[in-house]
Amino acid sequence: MLYSIILPTYNERENLPIIYYLIDDTFKKAGLNYEVVVVDDSSPDNTLEVAQALQKSYGKEHVTIVSRKGKLGLGTAYIAGLKVAKGQRIVIMDADLSHHPKFIPQMVKLMDIPESPQIVTGTRYHPDGGVSGWDLRRKLTSKGANFLADFLLNPGVSDLTGSFRLYEREVLERILPEIQCTGYAFQMEIVVRARKAGYQIAEVPITFVDRIYGESKLGTKEVIMYLKGLAQLFFTT
């Protein structure tokens, strides 16, 4: 079975080689076949050139590149990545080292059991999970966003705003055409609509580590888009 890891990138020049090495090492040790799909939104820091160097070193069977003109958003990046991904199972994760690939084999193990879930999501809010490197404001923002989403949408998961997940491909192929949100609310909408469609979801505790290189993409614009997406889901699902 082939696993496709979709990595949206924007100014991840320093992080991309490291996250790729960690993915390669994790999948080789676990005996799993993989490809990485890098979806770059015209990063001005030459992330694309780094991706091309990785492709040259590891081969096109392991590195696929989607280069887009302009910063088009996280949600559409995953859609673009899925169009070229060849795997039967899809991993979505951040390229900034916030998500360590070492948790992926645990996700795979859950998905391989009888009557297995079709989605396995990483959660920071399990007793064995956590966050490293965030200040109090960022922690309160994240917890507040999750509390609000849980209260309004009742999604049945503890970390609705998380973005480290393993999907059976069929889930994304069915759900993505229904998605209306973009940006960070995109992840939230997938889970809400998947749950409504009857798909089973399991959780794996993860430790989220704040980025070392580069700048966070989370700003006022993203918060506003999240709130708009939350309201949209509340009234339409």
pLDDT for 134: 65
Domain count of the fold of the chain: 1
**Domain of residue 122, residue span:** 2-236
Domain harbouring 46, CATH code = 3.90.550.10
pLDDT of residue 69: 93
pLDDT of residue 140: 74
pLDDT the model gives residue 210: 75
Give the DSSP per-residue string, 195-231.
Answer: HHTT--EEEEE-EEE--SSS-----HHHHHHHHHHHH
At 84, the amino acid letter reads V
Count of CB atoms situated within 10 Å of the CB of 147: 11
Q: What's the whole-model pTM score? A: 0.86
Q: What is the pLDDT of residue 178?
A: 86
Rounded to 5, what percent of the chain is helix, strand, coil? 45, 20, 35
Residues 6+ apart with CB under 8 A from 153: 160, 188, 192, 230, 233, 234, 237
Q: Each residue's pLDDT tens digit in the chain (237 positions)?
A: 999 999 999 999 999 999 999 999 999 999 999 999 999 999 999 999 999 999 999 999 999 999 999 888 888 899 999 999 999 999 999 999 999 999 999 999 999 998 889 999 999 888 887 777 667 777 677 777 777 777 777 777 888 878 899 999 999 999 988 888 776 678 888 998 999 899 999 999 999 887 565 555 555 666 777 777 777 776 776
